């Protein structure tokens, strides 16, 4: 078998988190009853006209700047014509030959290796509605709530070579869009989704092979698995002397199988032409500079600051800043308890493990910044031991209860009252004359035994430092 090279380009669709749609004032919020977030404009009633939502341009320009694109001073919108019941005007307003952003790139990190992926363009467009197939009646129903929800399409160069790179690219893009607050990036709700264009060629061949396109993948796992599947499939076809057809693959995520659909769609002529109802988008240098200056601190700069300002190791800083939500959680928690390394350890350790198990994002967990800060303060003040803290955290994670309340409810407060401890120490010393004698004879180990006895009597709640101090005092008296 020959060696093959895989060529992958991604087209990512991100729903912009504007409050209103791209050409009317309808709400963009997800999950409403069907056809309640629509009006004559977004349902394409005769005589209506679109009015461009300026926020959409702003968000798209921000995404372009954050991905090192050139922002077009002059761009226009075009009509992409096709018939489908979820497209009420029978054309989608998109951008064809003069998109808002051109020629950017993104640096990704794959298993410690850095790589740069080119970005061809970013353009704005409107989303289509949703078809709902009623299994009971056999009817197909249209929900137009999603019609004209603003999207940006981010088209990458064919620079990606395998599934890991594709996932790393998506993760980096997701992180940037989250930092910019232009997209909520909820992949399971479809607000961030991606089309994979994939072809293979024998190593050394100059021309690209024929590519297939898989649309609307909405999880990192699906992207990864589809790429592995499709790579293998194409190589097998070629190895068996077959040819790859330019076609659309439908990916069944549950089964982990892709199906080729030899559809007429490939021959579709969209008859693009400039949208006559909308004026061109003309942006001034001043506008673009204002946008540049309004960009939030991006992940790589935040990472450097964490190292400098909080004295965190590079590894910690990298992980904490990978997601805006994690970084926000870290900063808010630390602002309350002021112990950066402890906060970092919690977030990267037990907390991360539990989030992974439940497949949750940090901002979806019941644990609040205030609660984690409170827990860390309780340890720092010596109110609880770090061993007990782990127990408390588990409960916080499950119930969302405050650390202080759990400590009080369960009587987990560390005993730091010298009088109370002294009494127990006295009792243990008196009950173990042999151990005292051993210690005096130079056997340090005997101390450990007696500390163990004391902790057993206090159910682990005695402050270990105080126990040590008092024990030595009493024996050496």
Q: CB-wise, 50 or 258, nearer to another protein?
A: 50
CB of 78 to another protein, least distance (A): 10
Residue 402 Cβ, how far from another protein at the closest point, in Å? 50
Q: 187 with 195: CB under 8 angstroms?
A: no
- Taking the least distance from each CB to another protein, the nearer of 41 and 320 is 41
For residues 274 and 76, is the Cβ–Cβ distance under 8 A?
A: yes
Give backbone dihedrals phi and psi of 286, rounded to 5 degrees, phi first. -60, -45
Using the minimum distance from each CB to another protein, give the nearer residue, 124 or 428.
124
Cβ proximity to another protein: between 35 and 328 the closer is 35
Contact 199, 205 (CB under 8 A): no
**Rounded distance between C-alpha atoms, residue 438 and residue 422, angstroms:** 21
Q: Which helix (H) or strand (E) holds 375?
A: helix 369-380
Give the interface with another protein as residue ranges (CB under 8 A). 40, 43-52, 79, 81, 83, 85, 88-91, 142, 269, 271-273, 276-279
Closest CB 70 distance from another protein, rounded Å: 25
CB of 214 to another protein, least distance (A): 23
3-state helix, strand, coil in the chain (%, to 5): 45, 20, 35
Task: Decide whether 272 or 449 has the Cβ nearer to another protein.
Answer: 272
CA distance 216 to 13: 8
- The residue (of 144 and 173) whose beta carbon lies closer to another protein is 144
Q: Which is nearer to another protein, 278 or 451 (CB)?
A: 278
CB 286 to another protein: min, Å: 20
Q: Are strands 74-75 and 248-252 parallel, antiparallel or unpaired?
A: unpaired
Nearer to another protein, 142 or 421 (CB): 142
Q: Which candidate, 74, 122, 123, places its Cα nearest to that of 288? A: 74
* CA-closest candidate to residue 365, choices 337, 392, 334, 401: 401
Interacting residues of 119 by C-beta distance below 8 A, sequence separation 6+ = 67, 68, 69, 103, 104, 105, 106, 154, 155, 156, 157
Helix (H, G, I), strand (E, B) or coil at 361: coil
**In whole angstroms, how close is the CB of 84 to another protein at the nearest point?**
8
Kindly state the smallest distance separating residue 64's Cβ from another protein, in Å.
23
Q: Which is nearer to another protein, 53 or 435 (CB)?
A: 53
How many residues comprise the chain? 477
Mind giving me the DSSP string for 144-196? -TTTT-EEEEEEE-S-B-SHHHHHHHHHHHHHHHHHHTS----GGGTSEEEEE
Shortest distance (Å) from residue 144 CB to another protein: 9
Alpha helices in 243-298 (DSSP H): 285-294
Dist CA 350 CA 242 (whole Å): 51
Least distance between another protein and beta carbon 69 (Å): 25
């Amino acid at each position: 078998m020959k060696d093959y090279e895989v060529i992958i380009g991604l087209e990512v669709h991100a729903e912009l988190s504007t409050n209103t749609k791209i050409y009317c004032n309808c709400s963009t919020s997800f999950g409403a009853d069907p056809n309640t977030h629509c009006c004559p404009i977004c349902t394409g009633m005769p005589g209506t006209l679109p009015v461009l939502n300026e926020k959409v341009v702003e968000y798209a320009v921000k995404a372009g700047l954050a991905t090192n694109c050139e922002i077009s001073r002059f761009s226009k919108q075009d009509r992409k014509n096709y018939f489908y019941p979820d497209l009420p005007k029978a054309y989608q307003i998109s951008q064809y030959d003069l998109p808002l952003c051109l020629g950017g790139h993104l640096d990704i990190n794959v298993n410690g290796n850095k790589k740069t992926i080119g970005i061809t363009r970013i353009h704005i467009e409107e989303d289509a509605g949703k078809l709902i197939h009623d299994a009971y009646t056999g009817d197909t129903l249209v929900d137009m709530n999603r019609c004209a929800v603003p999207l940006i399409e981010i088209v990458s160069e064919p620079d990606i070579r395998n599934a890991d790179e594709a996932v790393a690219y998506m993760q980096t893009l997701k992180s940037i869009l989250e930092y910019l607050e232009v997209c909520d990036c909820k992949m399971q709700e479809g607000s961030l989704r991606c089309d994979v264009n994939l072809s293979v060629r024998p190593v050394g061949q100059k021309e690209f092979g024929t590519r297939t396109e898989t649309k609307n993948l909405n999880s990192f796992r699906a992207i990864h698995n589809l790429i592995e599947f499709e790579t293998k499939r194409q190589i097998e076809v070629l190895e068996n002397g077959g040819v790859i057809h330019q076609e659309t693959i439908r990916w069944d995520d549950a089964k982990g199988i892709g199906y080729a659909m030899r559809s007429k769609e490939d021959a579709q002529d969209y008859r693009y032409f400039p949208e006559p109802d909308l004026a061109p988008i003309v942006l001034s240098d001043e506008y673009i500079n204002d946008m540049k200056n309004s960009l939030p601190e991006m992940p790589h700069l935040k990472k450097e600051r964490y190292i400098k300002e909080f004295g965190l190791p590079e590894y910690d800083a990298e992980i904490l800043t990978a997601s805006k939500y994690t970084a926000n959680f870290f900063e808010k928690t630390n602002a309350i308890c002021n112990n950066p390394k402890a906060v970092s350890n919690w977030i990267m350790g037990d907390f991360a493990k539990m989030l992974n198990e439940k497949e949750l994002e940090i901002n979806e967990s019941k644990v609040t910044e205030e609660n984690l800060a409170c827990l860390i303060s309780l340890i720092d003040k010596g109110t609880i031991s770090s061993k007990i803290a782990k127990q408390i955290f588990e409960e916080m994670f499950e119930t969302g209860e405050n650390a202080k309340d759990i400590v009080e409810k369960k009587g987990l407060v560390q005993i730091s009252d010298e009088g109370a401890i002294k009494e127990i120490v006295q009792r243990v010393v008196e009950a173990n004359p042999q151990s005292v004698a051993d210690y005096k004879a130079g056997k340090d180990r005997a101390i450990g035994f007696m500390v163990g006895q004391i902790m057993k009597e206090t159910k682990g709640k005695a402050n270990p430092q105080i126990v040590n101090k008092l024990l030595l005092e009493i024996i050496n008296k």
